[in-house]
Structure 1
Amino acid sequence: MLDWMPLLLFVAVGIVLLLGYPVALSLGGVALFFALIGLALGSFDPAFLEAMPNRLYGIMTNETLIAVPLFVFMGVMLERSRVAEDLLNTMAMLFGPLRGGLGISVILVGALLAASTGIVGATVVTMGLLSLPLMLRRNYNPSIAAGTICASGTLGQIIPPSIVLVLLGDILSSSYQQAQLDMGIFAPDTVSVGDLFVGALLPGLLLVALYVVFVLALAWIKPDALPAIPGSERPIGGFALMRRVVGALMPPLLLMIAVLGSIIAGWATPTEAASVGAVGALLLAALRGRLTWPILSGVVRQTTIVSAMVFFIFIGAALFSLVFRGYDGDEMVAGFLTGLPGGTAGAIALVMLVMFLLGFILDFIEITFVVVPIVAPVLLMMGVDPVWLGVMIAINLQTSFLTPPFGFALFYLRGVAPRLLTTMQIYRGAVPFVGIQLLVLLLLALWPALATWLPSLL
């Protein structure tokens, strides 16, 4: 019975989550309940619970995690200052003469907005409210329009600066150090959030490029499904259009370059770069005349809510992890993964499959805080590159968030889409983009250099 306690712990948490209880309370409450059972039976070492205050202090004083509220603030401020709306209108005029041009505009604006917010729900909802009515009004195929919006919104999982990569970087760094200590390396290397940002850059840009190629190919095959915008509906052109494109595109693009460039060049840590991004978003809103008190107070309120949710889940996950280790769950996982047929490849394939399925019912925050600390040390001890593993996890979760019938991005769009767009149309539109993401995941598995080459140069 006691040998099955780690598995029972996982099952119990899953049941409580399905009942609708908050994630943080479910993780912490179930873990405490199982710890009390173990203490009563004399099978649980109380030293694991005594380590909880130190673990919490480490979370609260972790400088890397300060980047989370700063990046959230930057993204919400750019969203509330209507940067996305200006970008979409301008890009639609720029690519309007092309068949599928509006779809390309949605992908590019979605990628920029995803990079700035790093939150899938916010990006999908924003793009759904702004671009879906426009695409349907231009006689775009409803399924294609819905799929393009959902796929563009999930890019926030992989395109840096991404909150997912910040959290993964912190977890993988701790796991990498622990794995090296377990192997007898007493001066362990670390993997930084900046390494993950750089490693995710090429796969993220590859995804955007494949999305654009797919839309262009579809427009060539089915021109009536992705029509061009008539010239009479494009009020400006020539030099005036170029000036408007530069005015709308350059400020947010320069902000992204400043944030990422300072990290890549080694001039700033991710936390310092996040503060630059937050201040830059404030200045951008001010220059556009949209830095009003209602907007600022709304941004601060939303940032507080999201940040509190992240750290509350982190605390619950830390307690869950301690209890899981107290029942030797880490040793059970290590024995299971190392005993799989296929060695390292088999272990990675199983972990990716489990994470993909968990992505249907859990958000990336829960998966990052609960699952990654359990499986990452085992995989890293088997010789897996931490940067490659982090990028694989990010793309994998991005794919699960888009896959019917349970993908979170599909639910977000359903919540803001008009009634004339059916759920089945949203599902059909997402399927081709799921295929593109699986293709990139396969390419990354076959050629790890897609994620490791750029960090190795820098």
Structure 2
Amino acid sequence: MKLRKELWFGFTLMAIIVAGALYMLLSAPVITNGHIGLLMLSLVVVAIMLGFPTAFTLMGMGVLFTWLAYERDWHRTLDLMVQATYKTMANDVLISIPLFVFMGYLVERANLIEKLFKSLHLSLARVPGSLAVATLVTCAVFATATGIVGAVVTLMGLLALPAMLRGGYSVPLSAGCITAGGCLGILIPPSVLLIVYGATAGVSVVKLYAGAFFPGLMLAGLYILYVILLAKLKPSLAPPLTAEQRRVPLPEPLERAGAEGQRRALPALLAALKGRRNHGVPAGYLLRQLFVALLPALVFAAAALWSYERVTRPVTEEVIPGLQQMGGDAAEPAGDADGGVAEPPAEGLQEPGADGLAEPPGSEASEAAAAPQAGQPSGAATGPAGPAEAAPAGAGEAARLQVPPGYWIGVAAGAVALIAYYALLSFTRLEIFKMLLSSFFPLVILIMAVLGSIVFGLATPTEAAAVGAFGGFLLAAAYRQLNFTVVKESVFLTAKTSAMVCWLFVGSAIFSSAFALLGGQELVERWVLGLNLTKLEFLVLSQVIIFILGWPLEWTEIIVIFMPIFVPLLDNFGVDPLFFGLLVALNLQTAFLSPPVAMAAFYLKGVSPPHVSLNQIFAGMLPFMGIQILAILLLYAFPGIGLWLPELLYK
């Protein structure tokens, strides 16, 4: 019965699209090529909703209508097809897509997600709705590392959904957390969506990554805040963990050395190293445990020393030894007045003297300046060359800058936090920290290395993607999951996904060329400008259209088909394409969460227990869709959330 309702909905939507296209053609006084272009757009949407492959539908429709626009000239049609394909595939930015996808598949097969979820839900055990919060954080981290929505939702459905249902969590809340959290990977960098938008709209992917960082964190934070407030106000929907669920077993050697769950770890480890108090536990094992316990202090000390060196480093002017600019000041001799050979200076070659390349009017001044040097030892000259030679030595001995007060405030705050950490560090918390050390921190370091190298200009997106792929190799090898089967599956899935994206780009290029050739873009632009919209009204209209398109279409289809229509309109309303891209990235979360084509819901339904219905999953996703709309409103009201970091880094 449910399937029939979905079919009726889909057929009704397609009928509305076809009826609208026919009405447009019949009501137009003169049918122009622009109207035919809009008809092509309608037919493409209907064909995709019927299940035809998106890329080949775009190519087929584009070639057919280009042939009609060129009055059945196959030569010009095929020329346009070849040129559009070559222009698209020559884009260097697209190289980063298979590398990021390959990194994602390697990380997915390293089996990190189970350890990550377990360590996070134990570390957040005292937070209201801890299982749901841990699910959202796990999804955010894992989705950021993989960027593959289906994989994250499926794995979390197998891992987190049974745990939440056993803990007494409501089915809609559990399903909403998994589906919403799994979709964060299409927004938080390194996101393939941002690469596709950047290549389609001609916006720098580097700036898009920098701009999407804080909106992504804001959306994840709003999800977590909603779950905590809901668990606090309605504990029946998200009961707290029981003592048994929060119990962390200790290793047997530590228990023999007298370790207990709530006993302070640092004093106990130091005491166990003395004499016979270790109860036969090897000293090497205890030293390793002590090193893990002291690791935060060591990292803090290294960071404090590195920061001190950075903030007190003297500012020195760059001195370039060797050749100097010709035609400089003539009163700057390097030799004696007679043209003899003077002692070479300390650094490289200097400008020749009077017999060299100096200008003739300066020769007399050169002789006057060089005369006192005749009876003085080398280095004692008081002429103009003296200060020039002494400057490098003085610069090398420059005193360090004064330490700013902010440094001491930061060090003091860090020291207080460190003292509080060790005051609360029990053996149970030490075991949780070790679990985080083996699951959470490696992923975060990989993500930050990739993002940091892009955002701070150390590498291009393609180079950073190569670093990420190598990091995925290292993670898989570190967790002993790197074998021929894993590599073969990852390469195959990467080739399959990358081919899909590249064919989409080719189909989009051909379709966009046909649409522009027919004058569809010009017709849309005239219609929008004829509405006399303000900037706010245009943004609302465009985002509503994208929101509605998210029902029947996926984000890839929306980006490659409709962004070439929207982007040329931005200049008319003074909208920054970077800011518009961030709004679109937030809005396109709906492509996976809005029924009836909410792919995340179907991914989750495929691995959920039989009693979990599709209606319950949809009901759980609705509050998170409302949070997405709130995030879009916040980003529009405070554009600095997305634009501050790009403006700071790339002025």
TM-score range, shorter chain: over 0.9
The residue that corresponds to 2:518 in the other structure is: 327
The residue that corresponds to 1:140 in the other structure is: 169
Q: Provide TM-score, normalisation by structure 1.
A: 0.92
The correspondence for 1:167, drawn from 158, 172, 196, is: 196
The correspondence for 2:46, drawn from 5, 15, 27, is: 15
CA shift in 2, pair 1:274/1:41, >3 Å: closer
Please state if 1:413 is matched with 2:604.
yes
The correspondence for 2:227, drawn from 215, 220, 232, is: 215
The residue that corresponds to 2:137 in the other structure is: 108
Offset at 1:342? 2.7
The residue that corresponds to 2:178 in the other structure is: 149
Deviations for 1:61-84, whole angstroms, at most 9, x for unmatched residues? 211011110110111111111111
Specify the SS of the correspondent of 2:593.
coil
Q: Which moved more, 1:24-33 or 1:386-395?
A: 24-33
The residue that corresponds to 1:52 in the other structure is: 81
Structure 1 distance, partners of 2:199, 2:532, is 30
- 1:258 aligned partner, one-letter code: A
Please state if 1:368 is matched with 2:559.
yes
Offset at 1:46? 7.1
Offset at 1:411? 2.2
User: Any stretches of 5+ residues in structure 2 without a counterpart?
Assistant: 1-30, 250-427
The runs of at least 4 aligned residues of structure 1 exceeding 6 Å deviation read: none
Q: Which moved more, 1:229-238 or 1:429-438?
A: 229-238
Deviations for 1:365-421, whole angstroms, at most 9, x for unmatched residues? 111111111210211343211211111011111134212343222222122222111
Structure 2 distance, partners of 1:123, 1:242, is 24
Specify the SS of the correspondent of 1:127.
helix
The residue that corresponds to 2:120 in the other structure is: 91
Structure 1 distance, partners of 2:39, 2:440, is 52
Structure 2 distance, partners of 1:32, 1:48, is 7
Structure 2 distance, partners of 1:257, 1:398, is 23
Q: After superposition, where does 1:397-412 map in structure 2 within 5 Å?
A: 397-412=588-603
The correspondence for 1:194, drawn from 206, 224, 229, is: 206
- 2:49 aligned partner, one-letter code: L
Offset at 1:424? 1.4
Offset at 1:89? 1.3
Q: Mark the structure with the bigger radius of gyration.
A: 2
- 1:26 aligned partner, one-letter code: T
* Root-mean-square deviation over aligned CA pairs: 1.7
Q: Which moved more, 1:308-317 or 1:33-42?
A: 33-42
Structure 2 distance, partners of 1:49, 1:353, is 36
- 2:69 aligned partner, one-letter code: G
Structure 2 distance, partners of 1:367, 1:85, is 33
Offset at 1:142? 0.7
Please state if 1:427 is matched with 2:618.
yes
Structure 1 distance, partners of 2:484, 2:241, is 38
- Kept after mapping to 1: 8 A contact 2:446/2:468: yes
The correspondence for 2:248, drawn from 235, 240, 253, is: 235
Please state if 1:246 is matched with 2:437.
yes
Report the structure, 1 or 2, having the larger helix content: 1
Deviations for 1:403-454, whole angstroms, at most 9, x for unmatched residues? 2343222222122222111111111111111111100001112222211111
Specify the SS of the correspondent of 1:51.
helix
Structure 2 distance, partners of 1:354, 1:41, is 34
Please state if 1:440 is matched with 2:631.
yes
Structure 2 distance, partners of 1:93, 1:378, is 50
Structure 1 distance, partners of 2:36, 2:538, is 22
Deviations for 1:140-161, whole angstroms, at most 9, x for unmatched residues? 1111000000110111121011
Structure 1 distance, partners of 2:577, 2:491, is 34
The correspondence for 1:122, drawn from 127, 139, 151, is: 151
Q: Which moved more, 1:215-224 or 1:334-343?
A: 334-343
Please state if 1:5 is matched with 2:29.
no
Structure 1 distance, partners of 2:75, 2:524, is 22
Offset at 1:41? 7.0
Offset at 1:19? 2.4
The residue that corresponds to 2:648 in the other structure is: 457
Structure 2 distance, partners of 1:113, 1:245, is 14
- 1:24 aligned partner, one-letter code: A
Structure 1 distance, partners of 2:571, 2:598, is 29
- Kept after mapping to 1: 8 A contact 2:44/2:61: yes
Q: After superposition, where does 1:232-311 map in structure 2 within 5 Å?
A: 232-233=244-245, 234-236=247-249, 237-311=428-502
The residue that corresponds to 1:67 in the other structure is: 96
Offset at 1:49? 5.0
Name the count of aligned residue pairs.
439
Deviations for 1:237-268, whole angstroms, at most 9, x for unmatched residues? 22121122122111110000000000111000
Q: Which moved more, 1:345-354 or 1:138-147?
A: 345-354
Deviations for 1:193-219, whole angstroms, at most 9, x for unmatched residues? 010011011111111111111111111
- Kept after mapping to 2: 8 A contact 1:48/1:326: no
Structure 2 distance, partners of 1:436, 1:372, is 24
Please state if 1:318 is matched with 2:330.
no
Q: Provide TM-score, normalisation by structure 2.
A: 0.65
